[in-house]
């Protein structure tokens, strides 16, 4: 069926702008300052064409305009609109403060000619921004304006006021209304609500948030940190927790800029003004490098006495122990060296989590690679009604997360409901409620977690085995500080009978990060078993392999499909199982493929479809290493078939073609048939799946003889 394309009305952008203004007025009306109220009032006095012209200008990246830049077909009266904009103060003539914007508005060749005309030395290889900077620094504005600036240029006014209104609407910096167009085109999904929550309690808090967010953006874009630091006393007060966090982050970034310049004294001064833990840490490290050990000791002891959070305590205790307690090994190194070690086959290298899951499954655990998802799922399901169905939970239609999580008021606003639902968890009565939420809301976008296959099974199994008080305790912590606990949780959760265990997996070269240790400590303090596991690699003589061959309708998935699978299971050099099936590819097999493989359309007409054999094949290969001659081809086709079923096919691979090249060099060809001739391996019915898989299994024996040689000599 042909797709219906949505066409936006000619003045869609004006409709969106008026929608935004109306929303901000209704939600923040009494909170708006004089500048915002005056802007809205004067904008309403403009006629339709003047409004359209202004919106067109502020939605573009350009800062300087001429009438030729605004020749839009849908605007009926360009010159009358411009006259209105001048009369009402929405555009102004260009002045010296617009110098750089004027330079940006010209093409690079024009700037090169300008420099040449005024005798400025420039290089042809300079970028346009560097060229503009050089001209501004060495050519007076009046000299530029007199000969190069056209008189019909102008600049839109009130962009800062408009930016603040957009900040109120979106809760982030935005310089255009593109999100509205994407919504109307169906590209962005939004959900209209009956009421909305203001993002700020008062105008001062809103202005502070806007100021600090803008300065952070400016600093990241190359603004001068010194000028920003020099104006520190004029910064607005940070009265809310959110604006204080932004202020602390800005101070920390300025401190880092001074550190980079080797201005240690200025960096220390800035760090001292920041409440961010990262600033406290940098201050301690700088002081220690300067030899101020007494000051460092005092700061560390203060952190240990009253830490801002777990990560600060971990840093302080680790640093104090290593620098003043004669402990040569840090907490993180000690944890890693003392952790449990799992030995897995070297073919799992690069996928430590999957290797650990296979190893724990052999021990009787059901492993889930949950990381941060499990707790986000449990939190979102348990408090779904409060988060997504309560009145005035969101700041606008475009918000994906409730405002109460962002401003950390969720635990106070819904204190009674939270207490009731945590009581359900402690009593073992929350599972049915969460399963009902899953069935009623599965697939709905929510901003906290992504729905995945097996989610209900994980929730049910976890809640039936996990210590209830511990689960309730962690969810209580998340209710109080969701953003502070949104990451760092261990990679795996293991479930067996009435036992639950969290495990952070570390492969070769991995280190333990501070926030990961903080989550492990939190889980342990609540009563969970939570550990670190190191994965090491070796050639495992007990490893199970499944050698696979597929026949297909062509060479490119997903357009081409599988017509036959043959699989041979191998352990200790012996075949311990075989699996094969013709498969209906649900498309015609080309004649040249039939000539190559012998598989015809008649042969597969009544064969099972891949969906019919997927579970059986997945069970046959479970826990094994996937082996094939040109493994990328065979694995890619099977993975493509599983993706059609919205399932993931994940196995470590060994390619007999590449491995034979490595261990048995010197052959003219490493095709399957040629290798079989060279090593006297029987190959009947070449290009039938099971026959080719059996032959490749013989190559695997030869490869493993080489792989296991080192292990035998060590033994």
Catalytic residues: 687
d(CA 308, CA 474): 18
Strand ranges inside 308-431, DSSP E = 340-345, 366-369
Q: Are 460 and 435 in contact (CB under 8 A)?
A: yes
d(CA 394, CA 406): 10
Which of left, alpha, beta for 266 (phi over 0: left; psi -120 to 50: alpha)? Answer: alpha
The pair of structure tokens assigned to 474 is 């962690």
The pair of structure tokens assigned to 85 is 């904009």
The pair of structure tokens assigned to 242 is 């959110």
C-alpha to C-alpha distances, 367 to 27, 221, 502, 510, 691, nearest whole angstrom: 47, 44, 10, 21, 35
Q: In this structure, what are the phi and psi dihedrals at residue 501, rounded to the nearest 5 degrees? A: -140, 135
Nearest of 702, 706, 703, 694 to residue 575 by alpha carbon: 694
C-alpha dihedral, 113 to 114 to 117 to 122, nearest 10°: -70
Strand ranges inside 58-101, DSSP E = 91-93
C-alpha to C-alpha distances, 410 to 28, 315, 422, 486, nearest whole angstrom: 21, 29, 14, 15
Residue written as token pair 């095709």: 671
d(CA 390, CA 227): 45
Q: What secondary structure letter does DSSP report for 589? A: P
Beta pairing class for 653-655 and 625-628: parallel
């Amino acid at each position: 069926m042909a797709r219906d394309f949505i066409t936006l009305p000619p003045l869609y952008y004006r409709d969106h702008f008026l929608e935004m203004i109306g929303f901000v007025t209704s939600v923040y009306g009494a909170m708006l300052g004089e500048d915002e109220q005056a802007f809205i009032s004067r904008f309403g006095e403009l006629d339709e064409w003047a409004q359209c012209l202004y919106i067109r200008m502020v939605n573009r990246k350009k800062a300087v305009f001429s009438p030729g830049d605004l020749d839009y077909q849908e605007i009926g009266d360009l010159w009358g609109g411009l006259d209105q904009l001048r009369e009402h103060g929405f555009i102004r003539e260009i002045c010296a403060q617009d110098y750089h914007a004027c330079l940006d508005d010209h093409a690079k060749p024009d700037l090169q000619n300008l420099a040449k005309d005024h005798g400025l030395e420039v290089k042809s290889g300079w970028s346009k921004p560097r060229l503009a900077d050089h001209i501004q620094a060495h050519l007076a504005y009046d000299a530029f304006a007199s000969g190069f600036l056209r008189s019909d240029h102008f600049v839109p006014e009130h962009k800062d006021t408009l930016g603040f209104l957009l900040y109120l609407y979106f809760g982030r910096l935005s310089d255009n209304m593109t999100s509205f167009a994407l919504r109307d085109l169906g590209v962005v999904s939004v959900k209209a609500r009956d009421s909305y929550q203001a993002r700020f309690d008062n105008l001062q808090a809103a202005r502070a948030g806007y100021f600090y967010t803008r300065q952070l953006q400016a600093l990241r874009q190359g603004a001068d940190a010194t000028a920003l630091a020099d104006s520190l006393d004029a910064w607005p007060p940070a009265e809310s927790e959110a604006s204080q966090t932004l202020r602390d982050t800005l101070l920390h970034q300025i401190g880092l800029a001074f550190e980079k310049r080797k201005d240690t004294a200025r960096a220390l001064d800035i760090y001292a003004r920041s409440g961010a833990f990262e600033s406290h840490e940098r201050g301690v490290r700088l002081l220690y490098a300067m030899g101020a050990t007494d000051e460092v000791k005092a700061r560390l002891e203060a952190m240990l006495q009253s830490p801002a959070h777990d990560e600060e305590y971990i840093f302080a205790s680790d640093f104090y122990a290593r620098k003043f307690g004669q402990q040569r090994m840090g907490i993180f190194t000690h944890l890693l060296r003392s952790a449990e070690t799992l030995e897995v086959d070297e073919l799992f290298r690069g996928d430590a989590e999957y290797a650990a899951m296979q190893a724990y499954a052999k021990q009787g655990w059901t492993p889930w690679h949950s990381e941060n998802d499990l707790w986000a799922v449990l939190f979102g399901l348990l408090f779904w009604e409060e988060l997504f169905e309560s009145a005035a939970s969101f700041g606008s239609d475009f918000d994906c997360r409730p405002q109460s999580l962002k401003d950390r008021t969720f635990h106070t606003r819904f204190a009674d409901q939270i207490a009731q639902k945590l009581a359900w968890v402690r009593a073992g009565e929350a599972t049915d409620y969460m399963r009902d939420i899953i069935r009623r809301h599965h697939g709905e976008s929510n901003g906290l977690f992504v729905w995945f296959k097996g989610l209900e099974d994980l929730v049910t199994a976890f809640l039936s085995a996990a210590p209830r008080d511990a689960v309730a305790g962690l969810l209580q912590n998340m209710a109080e500080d969701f953003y502070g606990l949104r990451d760092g949780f261990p990679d795996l959760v293991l479930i067996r009978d009435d036992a639950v265990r969290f495990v952070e997996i570390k492969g070769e070269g991995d280190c333990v990060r501070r926030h990961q240790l903080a989550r492990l400590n939190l889980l342990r303090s609540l009563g969970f078993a939570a550990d670190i596991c190191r994965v090491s690699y070796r050639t495992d003589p007990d490893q199970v392999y499944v050698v696979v061959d597929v026949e297909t309708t062509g060479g490119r998935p997903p357009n081409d499909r599988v017509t036959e699978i043959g699989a041979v299971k191998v352990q200790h050099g012996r075949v311990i199982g075989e699996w094969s099936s013709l498969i209906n590819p649900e498309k015609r097999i080309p004649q040249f493929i039939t000539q190559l493989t012998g598989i015809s359309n008649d042969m597969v007409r009544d064969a099972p479809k891949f969906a019919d054999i997927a579970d059986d094949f997945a069970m046959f290969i479970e826990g094994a290493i996937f082996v094939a001659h040109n493994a990328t081809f065979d694995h890619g086709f099977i993975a493509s078939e599983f993706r059609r079923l919205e399932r993931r096919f994940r196995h470590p691979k060994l390619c007999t073609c590449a491995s034979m090249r490595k261990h048995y060099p010197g052959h003219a060809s490493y095709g399957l048939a040629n290798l079989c001739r060279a090593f006297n391996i029987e190959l009947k019915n070449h290009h039938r799946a099971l026959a080719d898989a059996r032959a490749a299994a013989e190559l695997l024996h030869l490869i493993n003889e080489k792989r296991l040689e080192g292990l035998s000599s060590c033994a």
